[in-house]
Amino acid sequence: MTHFSAGELSDKSRVEAFSDGVFAIALTLLVLEIHVPRLAAPVTCGALLLALAQLWPSLLAMAASFFVVLSMWYTHHDLMHWVRGVDKCFLFANGFLLLIVSFVPFPTAVLSEYLNTPARAGAVALYCGTFFFVAVAHLLLLRSIIANRRLLHTDVPAERVATVQRAYLFGPLAYLLLLTLSFRRPWFALILTFAMWILWLALDYGSRARHPRTNPG
Amino acid sequence: MTHFSAGELSDKSRVEAFSDGVFAIALTLLVLEIHVPRLAAPVTCGALLLALAQLWPSLLAMAASFFVVLSMWYTHHDLMHWVRGVDKCFLFANGFLLLIVSFVPFPTAVLSEYLNTPARAGAVALYCGTFFFVAVAHLLLLRSIIANRRLLHTDVPAERVATVQRAYLFGPLAYLLLLTLSFRRPWFALILTFAMWILWLALDYGSRARHPRTNPG
Amino acid sequence: MTHFSAGELSDKSRVEAFSDGVFAIALTLLVLEIHVPRLAAPVTCGALLLALAQLWPSLLAMAASFFVVLSMWYTHHDLMHWVRGVDKCFLFANGFLLLIVSFVPFPTAVLSEYLNTPARAGAVALYCGTFFFVAVAHLLLLRSIIANRRLLHTDVPAERVATVQRAYLFGPLAYLLLLTLSFRRPWFALILTFAMWILWLALDYGSRARHPRTNPG
Amino acid sequence: MTHFSAGELSDKSRVEAFSDGVFAIALTLLVLEIHVPRLAAPVTCGALLLALAQLWPSLLAMAASFFVVLSMWYTHHDLMHWVRGVDKCFLFANGFLLLIVSFVPFPTAVLSEYLNTPARAGAVALYCGTFFFVAVAHLLLLRSIIANRRLLHTDVPAERVATVQRAYLFGPLAYLLLLTLSFRRPWFALILTFAMWILWLALDYGSRARHPRTNPG
């Protein structure tokens, strides 16, 4: 309504809308990497069903990337609830996060193409490596909030911020380990990555159940 | 305005905006599956018009998928009017629905490619199978609302919720039947699917005309 | 805020946001139809510049479609200012308009591919034919507003509605003539189409300058 | 809320939302130009990693275009804070800017394809040439605001507008010089372009730090 925010803080609603746009488009572009199978003659129903069934690495990669980008959107959603406004540092950390989010369809496509080939280790390494940068981007975004306390709503409890920061420090380390593992045991690294995401969801869900009113999400 | 919603409920406006984004992008991506015909020499106006006319399965599939995704958006729009806020269960049911919505361009493209070939049964089966999951996702979303009555506005009449729930239970059953039928009589299954969508629209329209003020849509 | 609108009218803000999304995506997808030229060896700077220059039909088609879709968005923007809320008829007329909008990248791509070939007449016919449906969709949307006077804000002057309706009736007729012309004189039909768009913009601008306060746009 | 704005000014919120959509989609489409490498047999992990490493021109071009489009969004964001409403001139200047924004993925793709070939000079020239039009579009948008003072909030200081206008006049000149340079020293022109963007960010950041409360961004 007014074009002056408190101090030099910008208002956050356009940042939210813009980020939502990038998250939504990145999610929806994932399907473009699933290619319609081109059958050699003779074209039969059985051949089509077989070709569709052989797309399972694409479907698995699409579904996994979809849910992890969706989780990132929830996390972003929560973080934006903490802040009263945004400064330039926040905007750049957010821009870096969006760059990585918009990049996710590429490693997903590489994983789809090479998961079922001898080059799977390289594809899994690229996938885990991308999420290493995702974790770093989240850490930078959180740091940009903590660095300028005026960005934070006053009723966000300090211990909640500290808990989240500890959780975010763990992310880059975990992905580095998974990246190293992926060269030796690609399947195991990939399954561990998926397991970690499911575990994080469960832990996050549990922590919210215990602190229903201190959770600003 | 405040970053605390009632109890642990999150506010619904960003969920609406995000879902709208995914619906809008999925709709618009459908056109990417209609490929510009590449003519062999000699390139003539007649050859181009003939090639364009042969795209009718793509155009039919695009238009059908467009209107069904649009109907899903209307339904989503209505459901969101019922809720006061969202919880984690709702967010995951909604995420699952969005995954299927963003997947719709793929079966549409397969239907475009194979509707006019002997492999049509497989393409129709994939198409009906996808909408089976759409129906399941709608049911899960409705269940997530009913499971936590605090999500519902108090003035949504209980009998309206019960009616909608019965209608939603019918969906997965109908698509399972159509899926089985599609292997034997693919054309018939596809026409029946389209007829069912038109019937649903008409029934929905009728029910609204009868209960203008109890309809929160 | 409340989930009951006046009578059975739905609130219009999500319809606006959703339509904006489809318009914005259709605009941005136009660039995907401009393909990076693949040069045969030897790859030289001169060969690249020549290949880029030969993309002029793509650039022309993209720019023309961009500005006409943008004009449609302005028109939509204006129409939405007239209405207080939306009903089911409006939603379906709007859905039909969005279907055509999301289809525009396809005739644009066909025009890019065949404008500089002997098949140009077919490409221009498809382009004008698409805008015939655009004009019909606008007419249907306006009819859906007039059919249910309760949709209109009471302060929209009746003579303004009548003027717009006359202008909208002219659209389908003009495109039908251009479509017939495009088979005999494709270049002339295309230039006439562009000239008509520029004329409409100028007339619209003039009418606003004369009635600054009766213009709800 | 009301459908009449002050005088003939339209309200700016839908223009913001629409522009945000185009910016977000243009950003996200950049990744579509990074193609999954297709390996010749034998498919090995080493061959995949090598092929991924050879994508560095695509990654560099994507990241550079991402950050410059993001900067353009911040600039747009700031400009929109200055205005109270929009007129037809503003809408067309804005439409021209969005056309160029949605075009950016194309020169980015050409740069990705030809940066590492002898045709690099043409690709860099196209890239700098596109940003020449970006700079012109920004200048037109600023002129459209200055031409109709009623668009501006009364508390935007005149000296700030003058400073920004001087900065915007510099843009087209700088890109013209870079365009000429790119034919002789393509690498140098590209590095200079990136250096200029980083310098602009730093200067902008500094100017904000000095004038925290006169900055409406």
Q: Which residues of D touch C37 (CB under 8 A)?
A: 110
Return d(Cα A5, Cα A2) in angstroms, integer.
7
Given this model, what pLDDT does residue A183 score? 93
D175 assigned to some structural domain: yes
Confidence of residue C29 (pLDDT cuts 50, 70, 90): confident
A138 assigned to some structural domain: yes
Given this model, what pLDDT does residue A208 score? 55
pLDDT per position as a tens digit, B54-63 = 999 889 999 9
Query: What is the value of pTM for the model shown?
Result: 0.85
Share of chain D above pLDDT 90, in %: 35
Say what angle helices D56-82 and D88-103 make with each other, to 10 degrees: 170
Please, what is the average pLDDT of chain B?
83
C45 assigned to some structural domain: yes
- Whether residue C114 contacts residue C123, with contact meaning beta carbons closer than 8 Å, is answered with yes
Mean pLDDT computed over C197-202: 83
Q: Measure in Å the smallest separation between the Cα of D105 and chain C Cα atoms.
A: 8
Cβ partners under 8 Å of residue B7, min gap 6: A212, A213, B150
Q: Answer whether residue B147 shows pLDDT above 60.
A: yes
Given this model, what pLDDT does residue C7 score? 44
- The tally of domains found in chain C comes to 1
C217 assigned to some structural domain: no
Q: Answer whether residue B1 shows pLDDT above 60.
A: no
Q: Which residues of C touch D120 (CB under 8 A)?
A: 45
Cβ partners under 8 Å of residue C166, min gap 6: none
Q: Answer whether residue B87 shows pLDDT above 90.
A: no
- Which of A145, A14, A13 lies closest to B1, judged by CA? A13
| DSSP H or E stretch at residue C177 | helix C158-184
Please, what is the average pLDDT of chain D?
83
Given this model, what pLDDT does residue A207 score? 59
Question: Is A109 in contact with D36 (Cβ distance < 8 A)?
Answer: yes
C162 assigned to some structural domain: yes
Q: Measure in Å the smallest separation between the Cα of B32 and chain A Cα atoms.
A: 9
Look up residue D76 and give its amino acid. H
Q: Which residues of B touch C21 (CB under 8 A)?
A: 20-21, 23-25
Find where tokens 């996710």 sit.
A104
- Encode burial over D16-46: b for 16+ CB neighbours within 10 A, e otherwise: bbbbbbbbbbbbbbbbbbbebbebeeebebe
Which of B106-110, B208-212, C7-11 holds the top average pLDDT? Answer: B106-110
Of residues B203 and D178, more confidently modeled:
D178
- Output the six-digit token pair for B217: 């849509």
D19 assigned to some structural domain: yes
Q: Which residues of B touch C34 (CB under 8 A)?
A: none
The one-digit pLDDT tens for each residue of chain A (217 residues) are 233 333 456 678 778 888 888 998 888 888 888 889 988 878 888 899 999 998 998 899 999 999 889 888 888 887 888 888 888 888 889 999 999 999 999 999 999 999 988 999 999 999 999 999 999 999 999 888 888 777 888 777 778 788 888 878 888 999 999 999 999 999 999 999 999 988 887 776 655 554 443 333 3
Q: Measure in Å the smallest separation between the Cα of A36 and chain B Cα atoms.
A: 6
Q: How many CB atoms lie within 10 A of CB A111?
A: 27
Q: Answer whether residue B149 shows pLDDT above 50.
A: yes
Return d(Cα D118, Cα C43) in angstroms, integer.
6
Q: Which residues of B touch A212 (CB under 8 A)?
A: 7-8
Given this model, what pLDDT does residue C208 score? 55
Residue D180 belongs to domain spanning: 13-210
pLDDT per position as a tens digit, D14-52 = 788 888 889 988 888 888 888 889 888 788 888 999 999
Given this model, what pLDDT does residue B89 score? 84
Q: Answer whether residue C31 shows pLDDT above 50.
A: yes
Q: Answer whether residue D3 shows pLDDT above 50.
A: no
Look up residue D20 and give its amino acid. D
Q: Which residues of A touch D217 (CB under 8 A)?
A: 10
Contacts across the C-D interface (CB distance below 8 Å): 98
Please give the residue of chain C at the shortest CA–CA distance from B215: C8
Cβ partners under 8 Å of residue A87, min gap 6: A8, A9, A10, A144, A148, A151
Given this model, what pLDDT does residue C206 score? 58
Given this model, what pLDDT does residue D194 score? 92
A105 assigned to some structural domain: yes
Question: Is C16 in contact with D14 (Cβ distance < 8 A)?
Answer: yes
Best residue of B98, B102, B114 to probe chain A, by most A CBs closer than 10 Å: B102
A5 assigned to some structural domain: no
Reduce the DSSP state of residue B211 to 3 states and report it.
Answer: coil
Return d(Cα B104, Cα B126) in angstroms, integer.
10
ipTM above 0.85, yes or no: no
Given this model, what pLDDT does residue A103 score? 93
Q: Answer whether residue D145 shows pLDDT above 70.
A: yes
Given this model, what pLDDT does residue C207 score? 58
Return d(Cα C83, Cα C146) in angstroms, integer.
10
Best residue of C25, C70, C101, C102 to probe chain D, by most D CBs closer than 10 Å: C70
User: Using CB atoms, which chains have 3+ pairs under 8 A with A?
Assistant: B, D
Return d(Cα B32, Cα C45) in angstroms, integer.
31
Question: Is B24 in contact with C21 (Cβ distance < 8 A)?
Answer: yes
- Encode burial over D104-137: b for 16+ CB neighbours within 10 A, e otherwise: bbbbbbbbbbbbebebbbbbbbbbbbbbbbbbbb
Please give the residue of chain D at the shortest CA–CA distance from A11: D217
Q: Answer whether residue D203 shows pLDDT above 70.
A: yes
Mean pLDDT computed over B163-189: 90
Long-range CB contacts (< 8 A, 24+ apart) of D203-207?
D205/A88, D207/D163
Given this model, what pLDDT does residue D183 score? 93
